Amino acid sequence: MAPPPTFSAASSGTVLFTGNICQLEARVGRQRSITSVTIISTDNLIFSNNQVSFESATFDAFVDALLAAGTLTATSNRFQESAASVLLSGITIAPFNITTQNISTFCLLVKGAKKIDARNLAIIDSFFPDLCARLQKQ
């Protein structure tokens, strides 16, 4: 008789979320939430080449995308939100975090012990220069 499976025999928790269009239209239904997209993994998360859109007439979420993992790569995404709908376009959290070359309407908050936060463009920085850099330092 074979021994029962153990946690070490479990499959990988790696998440590949690439090439998707995620759209939440909250104008009509008045949905309220903390985030539009949430992905959490204890393993590796690759979040790339996605179009994430949150449309609302009022403030209806804190953040468009919340990404957390053991290791994380978020690159080449477009985070698009209507005016005054969210506080942040995205939060990426991982001990080892690479968040680069994304375009967002609002700021991306990048957290991690070892992180690369480079070449992200936030449209709000055109109206309030260095806002995202100041938020990142806090």
Q: Where are the alpha helices (DSSP H) in the chain?
A: 131-137
C-alpha distances in angstroms, 122 versus 28, 67, 135? 27, 18, 12
Percent of the chain with pLDDT over 90: 67
**pLDDT single digits (tens) 10-31:** 567 899 999 999 998 776 666 6
- Domains of the chain, by residue range, sit at 14-137
Cα–Cα distance measured from residue 116 to residue 99, given in angstroms and rounded to the nearest whole number: 6
- Prediction pTM value: 0.87
Give the pLDDT band of residue 124 (cuts 50, 70, 90).
Answer: very high
C-alpha distances in angstroms, 111 versus 50, 95, 99? 20, 8, 9
